[in-house]
Amino acid sequence: MAKGFPQDTMQKFHIGVSNNNDGELTIDGADGILGIGPDALSTYNNPDGVIIPTIVTSMYQAKIIHHNVFSVYFQPLEYDTKIKQVNGELVLGGVNMSYVEGNVTYAPISTNPDFSDYWAVDIDNIRTGSRTFTYPTKLVALVDTGSTLIFLPAEIVQAVFKGVHGSRRDFTGQYIVPCDSDKLRSVNFTMGGVEYELYPEDYLITDGPVKFLFFVMIA
């Protein structure tokens, strides 16, 4: 399992470089986003409508990797932790099984036509505390590492923070809670018949004496 900054050469791989900076490129702390969604997503805002293979597909076609898959591992990072500490991992072509307990489980891609160009899965139900939420039309979740927040229906978000003293919602729709709060609940998502538990430390953004929540309410 290679780690660090490996080097490789991609043959006949397309990449774009901007020759004009209007200021937008210097606002964010990140240098850019590596798009590894379904290949069909590349037609979005593409005047020619040409499907451009992602780097994962290109590596698979070039036989650099044996499987046209990728996996992402995240680990919570405390506020006072030096940012240089590695707390995540991207594996192209497979899964690092050292992070997996038991067997890898899979959820089928959603057949909802509105989300056919995304890595999207149907949500069977969402559970937090003693409440389980199901809907006549299943919620569809976009699995997107480029999105920082988790968007959920308002009634679910309100249930997560019920009984959490000192919690408040700011103007952006995010909840803020005291850093010493011990009343936060886990949120359990059931996809493909398998339940996955998201613990509070997994959805908190720590910023000194307060903690911001990844959850944003939507109607």
For residue 87, give the CATH number of its domain.
2.40.70.10
- Both 92 and 32 in one domain: the answer is yes
**Residue 178 resides in a domain:** yes
Same domain, 152 and 219: yes
Domain that holds residue 33: 10-104
DSSP symbols for 28-87: SSSS-----S-GGGGGTT-TT------HHHHHHHTTSSSSS-EEEEE----TTS-TTS--
Q: How many domains does the chain contain in total?
A: 2
Do the beta carbons of residue 150 and residue 215 sit within 8 Å?
A: yes
**40 within a domain of the structure (yes/no):** yes
DSSP string, 166-218: T-EE-TTSEEEEETT---PPPEEEEETTEEEEE-HHHHEEEETTEEEEEEEEE
| Percent share of the chain, pLDDT over 90 | 36
pLDDT at 25 over 80: no
One-letter amino acid for residue 113 of the chain:
P
User: Could you tell me if residue 5 is inside a domain?
Assistant: no
Is residue 79 a part of any domain in this protein? yes
Mean of the per-residue pLDDT values for the chain?
80
Residues 78 and 134 occupy one common structural domain? no
Same domain as 130, residue 50: no
Q: Are residues 83 and 155 in the same domain?
A: no
Burial of 95 (0-12, 13-18, 19+ CB in 10 A): middle
Average pLDDT over residues 125-148: 91
| Residue ending a domain, choose from 87, 104, 121 | 104
Position 14 scores a pLDDT of: 63
Q: pLDDT digits over 74-97, tens only?
A: 877 665 555 556 678 899 999 999
> Average pLDDT for residues 175-198, to the nearest whole number?
84
Q: Are 54 and 91 part of one and the same domain?
A: yes
The rounded distance, in Å, linking the Cα atoms of 161 and 183 is: 8
Considering the domain boundaries, does residue 139 fall inside one?
yes
Q: What is the pLDDT of residue 193?
A: 94
Measured between alpha carbons, how far is 7 from 23 in angstroms, rounded to an integer?
30
Same structural domain, 112 and 194: yes
Above 50 in pLDDT, residue 1?
no
**127 with 133: CB under 8 angstroms?**
yes
- Section 158-177 average pLDDT: 76
pLDDT at position 201 over 70: yes
Domain match, 83 and 54 both: yes
**92: nearest Cα among 26, 9, 3:** 3
Kindly report the number of other CB atoms within 10 A of residue 145's CB atom.
15
